[in-house]
Structure 1
């Protein structure tokens, strides 16, 4: 799989950034950020599923390609 739409990459980056923001949080702040992360993750999954259905691709392969594309273009946001 080589053709990954920029929108999928953007959504995955956003989800990873929201995940990274969980570090060090506790209590209500953690729960609020966790909801943001879950919302962003749900958006990625929905977009991947829609793309896979539209192109006839395997959703797992699309997901793997999106994650690989994001990893190739940036370091882990949890480290920043």
Structure 2
């Protein structure tokens, strides 16, 4: 099942991923991503874990999405 992720959630994860790669992930960024995932999962009626994994795959491995 493919989950249609909202643009704002993808943008949050991109920010977090950039901070992780730079070694400067902040608590505020991590919290924003977590809360965004939880809110979207509840609203969409899907599992939080599924949303989180789909989001990470879309941001960290976009080439897999294109295949």
Smaller-chain TM-score bracket: 0.7 to 0.9
For residues 7-39 of structure 1, what are the alpha-carbon distances to aligned partners after superposition, in whole Å with 9 as ceiling and x for unaligned?
1111011011112222xxxxxxxxxx45xx221
Larger radius of gyration: 1
TM-score by length of 1: 0.68
Alignment check: 8 A CA contact 2:12 2:33 kept: yes
Q: Which runs of 4+ in 1 moved over 2 A?
A: none
Q: Which runs of 5+ in 2 are unaligned?
A: none
DSSP 3-state at the match of 1:2: coil
1:8-47 to structure 2, matched below 5 A, reads 8-22=9-23, 33-34=24-25, 37-47=26-36
Matched residue pairs, number? 62
Could you say what the CA RMSD is over the residues aligned between the two structures, in angstroms?
1.6
Q: Which runs of 5+ in 1 are unaligned?
A: 23-32, 75-80
Higher relative CO (Cα under 8 Å, sequence separation at least 6) belongs to 1
